[in-house]
Amino acid sequence: MKRLTITLSALFFAIGLSAQTYDLDFLNPDAKVLGMGGISMTSLSGSHAIYNNAAMAIFSQSPSQVSASYYGQGIYDAYAVSGSCRFDNNNLAQIGWRQLFYDNSQGEDLVLDLGYSRRINDHWAIGIVGRYQHFSQTNMPTANALALDLHAAYTLPLENVGKYSTLRAGARLSNLGGCFGDNNRTLPIRIVGGVALDTFLTDSHEIIIATDLGYCFTPSQPRGFQLSIGAEYNLVQLIQLRAGYHYGESSFTPCYTSLGAGVRILHLRLDFAYLFASSNSILRNTYSFSFGIDF
């Protein structure tokens, strides 16, 4: 456990560089994540844990979940569907499907993810996600890829901070693998880490403040840091208001400011996010909808 703690502590200082157009991790489909500036490592009640931090899902109160998202981003439209099923208090399985359609019939990309998460104890959880990707664009050769992501999550209840406060931290090492076949494509390996403070000001008012940080270090891809800062206000667990800012050091990680909102009614979730970016950014006027059901 001491060795695991040291390793994860190092990971918490980084977040991965968003990839080129053939990597569907370029933008997270979860509207809650987008509304908070791209915060993904500590998201506990988002729509797509398998695309955020698969290990963090084990700390959710929902036994099972099904979600769907859409986002429009410049030259393409993307759709995502994912689900999770908890076998018991310590084991959870996840599955996800994403498809991206380019404008003017310029091709499409498809991704299928399978994940497993396990709780180690009251504070720690780990997860693993395997991924198959199919790239089919008219201006590039068709290619396929296999990749593996490693996830970790930590949660700690805090005494004497607000009424019910929790410190959460998460880390992910993603895209361990690559394309196969006769092509020169590579997947950008990324290290992602984040921390969040979740506190109740009163029984009706909850505040979440979070940040993610990281780096892409694959030699054949552009390198650079990426930073996300976000916040969420939750009113009586019914209405959520979100805002965030995302900074990217490279042109493959455009900067943007985001606003978002969400509604929780019984077991239903509906989230929306809108991104504000510069006039020459691919993320200008990007928006996302996510809908989910918790069982």
Q: pLDDT digits over 1-15, tens only? A: 444 343 333 333 222
Q: What is the pLDDT of residues 29-78, one digit of tens each?
A: 899 999 999 999 999 888 899 999 999 999 988 889 999 999 887 778 89
pTM of the full structure = 0.86
- Distances from the Cα of 67 to the Cα of 95, 100, 111, 192, angstroms: 11, 17, 16, 23
**Across-strand partners of 196?**
168, 210
Question: Dihedral sign, CA of 55, 57, 61, 63?
Answer: negative
Contact (Cβ atoms closer than 8 angstroms) between residue 260 and residue 31: yes
How many Å apart are CA 52 and CA 253, to the nearest integer? 17
What is the rounded CA–CA span in Å between residue 275 and residue 27? Answer: 11
pLDDT, tens digit (0-9, with 9 covering 90-100), for 125-172: 999 999 999 888 767 778 899 999 999 999 999 987 777 899 999 999
